[in-house]
Structure 1
């Protein structure tokens, strides 16, 4: 775009002005802070600090050099990338940002690297910059280099709250405390908030994430539960959205005799209101029965766009299905048959939505699983693994067909490929809550733990993820803890890949919610390992390690073990330099060990804890303020810092 620029004041300075305008827009646009991720805040802050550089460059009277212009081009590209990710945080799905936190973190990491490389190339010696601006830019440059070297995944507690919400059977069985806390932190407390989130989700269906059926299903499930919470908590009930809860006021609502069905809710083939909308490879949505009939007659094109379909997989459009349900309720239209929430309803209703072709395929795969021929069994388990990932209907149908005991029997196979497919298929089946109890009752825990100990690395990682999924049911935490899973998870936390370590840490956190498992985790020597992760932020697991330590610090043995490790200095560093959530957990852990042994209060004072604790007590999160004030009171009572 800028390859033909002349090195003249008339060309270069307007270019600089355009960069300044974008920087000012980012700095002043409060909408970018709609969902205040720490990565967003850091990126905006650094871009604001860089702005004076370009303001001074704008005042340079001599033409810019070719090298300076090339560096500006690179910075402009990086700025465009920054604007894109910030706009995703502004107008995209908040629930997507939490559930796909690793992906979002990686995008911020890419932007950080681009900005750092652009500043690397800037010829500072050729620019007449003031000392103040030069020092400020060098500071930001150093921050970008440090940030590039570590990839942290934020919002762990929000993610864990989301997993807890998803683990509940339906909106009425969900822990209202967790749901309210989640709604408050996510700023999804009103009908308008939820409608905005629904529109953002609709955009996801036309993006590359449309194929992630499980993700769309999870987001829709959480939205359904949040809507139920709004019905209960809202002080200004919307009569259109919540008509069934306001039957006594029906006379105040004017119902049109024959409401016009929105075009987006009509099938492009039948032009009727859709009851089971599905997405084809081109991103278009159709009524399942209509598009299936079209495909069954030999067509391999999209009826609306006439494009050739890359594949003929039909992905349920859960978001549109939910929107149609809301519209029907609002306008007094009978809800279409087979319509239902993706996280509620009877299993038979889901099973009935599986096409005859898929049902026949599942039956055939189960025959192969029963054949005793390992190659056929491995291939069948691999196919079931894929089918179980695609939709909740498939999960129900596969479980009802009797696949779970057959898959469990493959966990003890000497064929590592069969093991891997089997444990991953069970992981995908366990996403549907009723299947969790079926899997445990069928005797899966001990074989899964054996895979966790001896399987391939991918199988071990998926075994850890399966144990996490099963452990969201409280009674399963006890069973899994007694099976010997915790030492095996600690081994994976020590030896695994980055993904494996994250899966192990998440499973350990969830299992340690049960008091009896805390002692098991401490006895498995997890605390020295967690302290290593805290001391090595480049590994990108600080948040996960702190979360596990914080829950173990509520147990007597955990307090002793954390206190015995060289923990005080590390915790104070995190309270001083960490992100808000890190500071909060670090303060909670430090308070727990100080209450257990007053010697740690003296050590904390020696390491300079007083000033950062005063800062945290004034400017931390609510929980962090409470912990910091309690620590300061402990110090005052002992006179350790006097």
Structure 2
């Protein structure tokens, strides 16, 4: 059986041009993986005698396949690791075929690396633990880097590393080195460990306990402030993982964390870092008024309002979520009311970004207007920029129950200030008022 491969969609680079016409190359059938029907890069043979490309058969097994796809024979327990034998003969034949067809642009398939085993993983992690106990930062850093490279080679490697307890080993090692600030580490072992941990999300409770200890958190704050660009991103991702797991009330007590996260939002390192910081802040302020007030003291509300003027959908949703949380504190609402752009930006973002953004914008506006302490400045300004009509429209098109209640309450509060409307309302004349 042969298949004609054209240079359009294939894992092998095939840009064949001769006399301005494309030439098809026939790949021998026994060089093709029975699953992907593509040229095998790492052929392995199962106990059934059928040869597959390693990546294809591993994906088959990881998704629940327990039979040989070709013969349909049930595979014995452990076939995927113990009896997945590299077929060196077929691999060398494929490489020779690639070399013979080099003139047509076919690149030689490199000899694949030997995949890791549970024994190799255990030895690797044992060496990391030993280097950590001995305080050998250079050796630990090299070992962690090697583990990361190994994990990136394949999903199977990453799974075995995760199942071998890598997260526990890394978190304990991080805690061991956490007593030294990042400025004096030199080799950045703490950053290397955080980078490896981000590959193993979600983290279990034991791992979170080590990473969330006072010593570890002080080190994380130091990396947020003084680490490399990648180090800051990974530190922000770990903080996000910590606070999203229900430990926000403990993490928020870490000295300097509020300032460090605010700085990453004020002085962006990268879009990913900013988004991770915003999510971490959201979890910290959503149910703790004291923490929300701390972020308000850092002028986070004003900072986010200004960023909302020109931000993409993802950034806008996260920013509005944080703003809603900060307005949960009296301090946050006070600072929000004083900023000239707050109300106009909140009203403008309704229906402009997404359903989620609209609901956060309504909630933030509701917090400002409901708790206006007798002042009607926010209410009048909201009416002036068209909030009344947008809220009416929101009730007509539908929204969640919580948002519906807040929108209805806002409409009742604004109803007495309709004379302040400064927009053309003809487009909304058909809307029905809910009261």
Calculate the TM-score normalised by the size of structure 1: 0.46
State the partner residue of 1:505.
278
The 8 Å contact of residues 492 and 500 in structure 1, kept in 2 or not, is answered as yes
Partner of 1:472, secondary structure, is helix
Match of 1:397 in 2: 164
Q: Distance in 2 between matches of 1:401 and 1:360?
A: 15
The separation in 1 between residues aligned to 2:214 and 2:80, in whole angstroms, is 37
Map 1:313-352 → 2, pairs under 5 A: 313=115
After TM superposition, list the pairs within 5 Å mapping 1:37-436 onto structure 2.
264-267=65-68, 271-273=73-75, 275=77, 287-291=80-84, 294-295=85-86, 299=88, 310-313=112-115, 355-370=118-133, 372-386=135-149, 391=158, 393-395=160-162, 397-399=164-166, 402-411=169-178, 412=181, 413-415=184-186, 417-429=188-200, 431-434=202-205, 435-436=207-208
Give CA deviations for 1:458-495 in whole Å, capped at 9, x if unaligned: 10111010011112232x21221010312101111122
More helix by share: 1
Q: Give the corresponding residue for 2:34.
A: none
- Output the CA distance in 2 between the equivalents of 1:511 and 1:388: 32
CA–CA distance in 1 between the matches of 2:385 and 2:114?
63
- Corresponding residue for residue 26 of structure 2: none
Matching residue of 1:529? 303
CA separation of 1:380 and 1:640: change in aligned 2, threshold 3 A: farther
Does the CA-based 8 Å contact 1:580-1:620 persist in structure 2? Answer: no
Which aligned pairs between 1:436-475 and structure 2 lie closer than 5 A?
436-441=208-213, 443-474=215-246
Alignment partner of 1:518 out of 277, 289, 292: 292
Question: For 2:175, what is the secondary structure of its paired residue?
Answer: helix
Task: Specify whether residues 432 and 391 from structure 1 end up closer, same or farther in structure 2 by C-alpha distance, changes over 3 A only.
Answer: farther
| Counterpart Cα distance in 2 of 1:618 and 1:461 | 42
- Equivalent in the alignment of 1:549: 323
Give the equivalent residue in structure 2 for 1:615. 393
Match among 594, 600, 605 for residue 378 of structure 2 = 600
Match of 1:584 in 2: 359
TM superposition shift of 1:592: 1.0
What runs of 5+ residues in structure 2 fail to find an aligned partner? 1-54, 96-108, 422-435
Unmatched segments (≥5 aa) in structure 1? 1-204, 211-215, 221-261, 277-285, 315-353
How far residue 617 of structure 1 moved from its aligned partner, in angstroms, is 1.9
Q: How far does residue 634 in structure 1 lie from its aligned partner after superposition?
A: 0.8
Write the distance in 2 (CA, Å) between the matches of 1:301 and 1:380: 34
Check whether the contact 1:451–1:459 (CA below 8 A) recurs between aligned residues: yes
Rg (Cα) greater in structure: 2
Separation in structure 2 between the aligned mates of residue 366 and residue 639 of structure 1, nearest angstrom: 68
- In structure 2, the CA distance between the partners of 1:368 and 1:535, relative to structure 1 (3 Å rule), is same
Give CA deviations for 1:78-121 in whole Å, capped at 9, x if unaligned. Answer: xxxxxxxxxxxxxxxxxxxxxxxxxxxxxxxxxxxxxxxxxxxx
Structure 1 residues 600 and 640, CA, compared in 2 at 3 Å: closer, same or farther?
A: farther
Q: Is 1:588–1:627's contact at 8 Å kept on the other side of the alignment?
A: yes
SS of residue paired to 2:185: coil
Cα 1:392–1:635 change in 2 (3 A) is: same
Question: Does the aligned pair in 2 maintain the 1:423–1:466 contact within 8 Å?
Answer: yes
Deviation of 1:386 after TM superposition, in Å, equals 5.0
Q: How big is the shift at 1:508?
A: 0.9
Q: 1:267 Cα shift?
A: 4.2
Q: Give the Cα separation in 2 of the matches to 1:535 and 1:392.
A: 43
8 Å CA contact 2:239–2:280 kept in 1: the answer is yes
CA contact (8 A) 1:300 1:309 kept: no
For residues 325 and 244 of structure 2, the distance between their equivalents in structure 1, rounded to whole angstroms, comes to 16
Query: How many angstroms apart in 2 are the aligned matches of 1:530 and 1:301?
Result: 59
SS, match of residue 520 in structure 1: helix
Superposed CA RMSD:
3.6
Distance 1:385 1:300, change over 3 A: farther
Contact 1:617 1:626 (8 Å CA) reproduced: no
Kept in 1: contact 2:141–2:192 (CA 8 A): yes
Shift of residue 393, structure 1, vs aligned partner = 4.9
Q: Give the distance between the partners of 1:270 and 1:308, measured in 2 at CA.
A: 31
SS of residue in 2 equivalent to 1:394: helix
Equivalenced residues, count: 332
TM-score (norm 2): 0.66
Q: Structure 2: how far apart are the matches of 1:419 and 1:310?
A: 31
Instruction: State which of 486, 503, 521 in structure 1 corresponds to 2:258.
Output: 486
